[in-house]
Amino acid sequence: MNLLLYLTTVLIWGTTWIAIKWQTGVVAPPVSIAFRFILASIVMLAIVRIMRRPMRPPRAAWPLLFAQGLALFCCNFLCFYYAEQIVPSGLVAVVFSTAPLFNAVNGRVFMGRTLQPSAIVGAVLGLVGILFLFAPQVASHAGDRTMWFGLAITLVGTMCFSAGNLLSSRMQSMGLHPTVTNGWAMLIGATVLTLGSLAAGFSFQPEWTPRYLGALAYLAVPGSVIGFTAYLTLVGRIGPERAAYCTVLFPFVALAVSTVFEGYRWSVSAAVGLALVVLGNLIAFNVFRRLPFLRAHGRALR
């Protein structure tokens, strides 16, 4: 079951980056995100009703729901939608793959979990890898503040995603199912985005093109309803740190899609950077030590 949840998350979220890219341009990002989560919350809460789960979370969960709605279904996506207007979607996915490291650090700060030295080594490798990935853009636009802003807001979005992970883990420990908490948190995030968009004077006229509407449908149902349910269920089953391993594989899928649809061109520094990001994540969570042949080798050495 865990493997199915893992593969579902990787395949769906590894391809949502290009769909987000297709939504940028005409409609203001906060409006597109509001459309996405209004539709997703309706579908999610309908599923909750069909499954006959309790619709109303307990009073103690509402502060956590509001926090999750703001972090995971509002600020997180605002950062990524704006970032994708600046940098290729595949590179945004690569920065997002540092989520396991943020989960480890946030778990230590807010939940008192032990921070392993391997996590620190992995974090350093991951950050160096990101610098390598952005090296071509840095070399040609070193003085371009827009490029640095794109990197910065992507990191902020990843931190918000990590916060949402921990909040979901906390609510699942209270006995709440992700379908229930996701439905309400998505509705809360969509409401905040709608009110903010109205206050900013953004138009709510959608882009009536097959590409925009197709991207919206894909992001709302597979990307949000299925993707978040699979991922956050995995968070509850194996913990936020281990669940976030799947973000390590996102760059492979996202950069492959970006190469086909956006004309992303690989370079030596980009390949090295991607390898370092992946290696950093694997080291951070001692994946190599879990491999049977390495465990056997370790026992032989002792």
d(CA 164, CA 170): 10
d(CA 7, CA 231): 10
CB 222 within 8 A of CB 76: no
Lowest mean pLDDT among 14-28, 99-113, 132-146, 225-239: 132-146
pLDDT for the residue 240 = 75
DSSP for 149-215?
Answer: HHHHHHHHHHHHHHHHHHHHHHHHHTT--HHHHHHHHHHHHHHHHHHHHHHHT-------SHHHHHH
- Portion of the chain with pLDDT greater than 90, in percent: 37
- pLDDT tens track for 34-80: 999 999 999 999 999 998 888 889 999 999 999 999 999 999 989 98
11 pLDDT band, cuts 50/70/90, is: confident
144 pLDDT band, cuts 50/70/90, is: low
* Continuous H helices in the chain: 2-23, 29-50, 62-70, 76-83, 89-96, 99-111, 117-133, 135-140, 145-173, 178-200, 210-220, 227-238, 240-243, 250-261, 268-284, 287-290, 292-301
pLDDT for the residue 213 = 94
Dmax (CA) of the chain: 68
Report, as an integer, the average pLDDT of 162-180.
90
Report, as an integer, the average pLDDT of 151-166.
90
- pLDDT tens track for 94-138: 777 777 778 777 777 776 666 667 767 877 787 788 778 767 766
302 pLDDT band, cuts 50/70/90, is: very low
Task: Annotate 229-240 with b (16+ C-beta within 10 A) or e (fewer).
Answer: bbbbbbbbeeeb
Tokens representing 286 are 């001692």
List the domain range (segments joined by +) for residue 57.
2-301
The count of domains in the chain is 1
CB 239 within 8 A of CB 114: no
CA triple 94-97-100, angle to 5 deg: 165
- pTM given for the model: 0.79
Cα 259 to Cα 31, 84, 252, 254, 255: the distances in Å are: 28, 15, 11, 8, 6
- pLDDT tens track for 236-290: 887 776 777 677 666 677 777 777 776 777 788 888 888 887 787 677 666 666 5
Tokens representing 287 are 């994946």
CA triple 98-99-104, angle to 5 deg: 105
- Quick check: 174 pLDDT over 60? yes
Q: In the predicted model, what is the mean pLDDT of the chain?
A: 82
CB 172 within 8 A of CB 235: yes
pLDDT for the residue 297 = 42
- Portion of the chain with pLDDT greater than 70, in percent: 82
d(CA 294, CA 226): 35
Tokens representing 107 are 């778990």
